Amino acid sequence: MTKDIFVIAEHRRGEIRDITFELLTKGYELSKDGGRLHTVLLGFQNEKMIDELKPFSDGILNIDDEKLKDFNAEYYQMVLSNLLQEKKPFITLLGQTAFGIDLAPSLATALDMPYAADCIDIEIDKERVYTEKQIYGGKISSRVSLVENWGYMVSVRPGSIAPKEGELKAEVTAITSPLKEEIDYRRFVQYIEAAKGEVDITQAEVVVGIGRGLKEDKNLPLMEEFAKSIGGVLACSRPVVDAGWLSKDRQVGSSGKTVKPKLYIAVGISGAFQHVMGMKGADTIVAINKDPNAPIFTVADYGIVGDLFQIIPKLNEKVLEVK
């Protein structure tokens, strides 16, 4: 039995998606158990993507076929069920993304392979594979052991692994595409970009999260000014969106976005687990709340207990002074 780890690369319009680098980081760690790490790249005219992927694995299995230019789970399944059956990797990793959700369950079923979905961590312990999953909306972490098999499939939640720089030099192996016939019952038609808000909170290095503690939308300018002076963007908890103070694309949490800024300042946010799920990966968390027992303080690196309407203007003043 090999101990090889396969990562199925995800790309869109010729760009490798971030999840691929997250999977490769985990794959590298898992391959230290005696296996080799391979990136499996299905696409068309893959040269640029190969260059980008080279430092991240020992090998790249490159399947270059015009039919694979845009994602179509049917073609992917045809190629991968052959390849995985032949190479028999120990663990195959995919993202818990639209791509992985579409592909992994039916691929695992076709291969009769144990599959764990939406995992946040994976561990190999004495030939057994264990994954960590959050259940009950993130309230409980469960450790799942997979039934014994020659290989396992795991899809990993985006943002649960911090990607690292690659230091490897992958050897590229061209694999002949087994695709012969066109599939007409399922076709790629076109990309339609999701409408974007004016700011992308997932890309910001400093995020100021505001909660119901702000009381009314007429207090928003206070927070906007503060966010601007510290060079950050405004995000929020769900009640702020429900009240219509900020748009949905600013919501952080289980039904909003996951942010990983260098600094997250939670202002008037209690720290419900649905909110914390979306911001606990921030490098530094500062919480401002008048309730010393607010759960947000359990995840904060720094806490200020007090009234935000007194604290924020003072902090703002200090920031401007330092600037």
Ligand X SMILES: Cc1cc2nc3c(=O)[nH]c(=O)nc-3n(C[C@H](O)[C@H](O)[C@H](O)COP(=O)(O)OP(=O)(O)OC[C@H]3O[C@@H](n4cnc5c(N)ncnc54)[C@H](O)[C@@H]3O)c2cc1C
Near ligand X in 272-311, by CB under 6 A:
272, 274-275, 278, 288-291, 294, 307-309
| Residue 35: CB atoms within 10 Å | 20
Query: Dihedral sign, CA of 182, 183, 185, 189?
Result: negative
What residue spans of the chain are helical by DSSP H?
Answer: 18-31, 47-53, 73-87, 98-111, 220-229, 238-242, 273-276, 296-299, 308-322
Closer to ligand X by Cβ: residue 43 or 232: 232
Torsion angle, CA of 154/3/17/135, rounded to 10 degrees?
20
- Residue of 54, 87, 88, 212 interacting with ligand X (CB under 6 A): 212
Q: Which residue has the tokens 């992958």?
A: 170
For residue 151, count CB atoms less than 10 angstroms from its CB and return exposed for 0-12, middle for 13-18, buried for 19 or more. buried
Report the distance separating Cα 277 and Cα 257, nearest Å: 9
Neighbours of 255 (CB within 10 A): 14
Taking the least distance from each CB to ligand X, the nearer of 105 and 239 is 239
Establish if 269 lies at the interface with ligand X (CB under 6 A): yes
Q: Which of 29, 26, 24, 30 minimizes the C-alpha distance to 10?
A: 24
Our CB check for ligand X shows the closer of 238 and 260 to be: 238
Q: Name the one range near ligand X by CB under 6 A: 98-106, 148-156, 198-206, 251-259.
A: 251-259
How many residues interact with ligand X (rule CB under 6 A)?
27
Contact pick of 177, 237, 258, 316 for ligand X (by CB under 6 A): 237
CB 307 → ligand X: shortest distance, Å?
4
Q: Which stretch binds ligand X (CB under 6 A): 78-86, 182-190, 194-202, 247-255?
A: 247-255
Q: How far is the CB of 226 from ligand X (least distance, A)?
A: 13
**Interface residue with ligand X, options 27, 89, 166, 256 (CB under 6 A):** 256
Interface stretch with ligand X, choices 102-110, 112-120, 174-182, 245-253 (CB under 6 A): 245-253
Q: Contact residues for ligand X (CB under 6 A)?
A: 211-213, 237-239, 251-256, 268-270, 272, 274-275, 278, 288-291, 294, 307-309
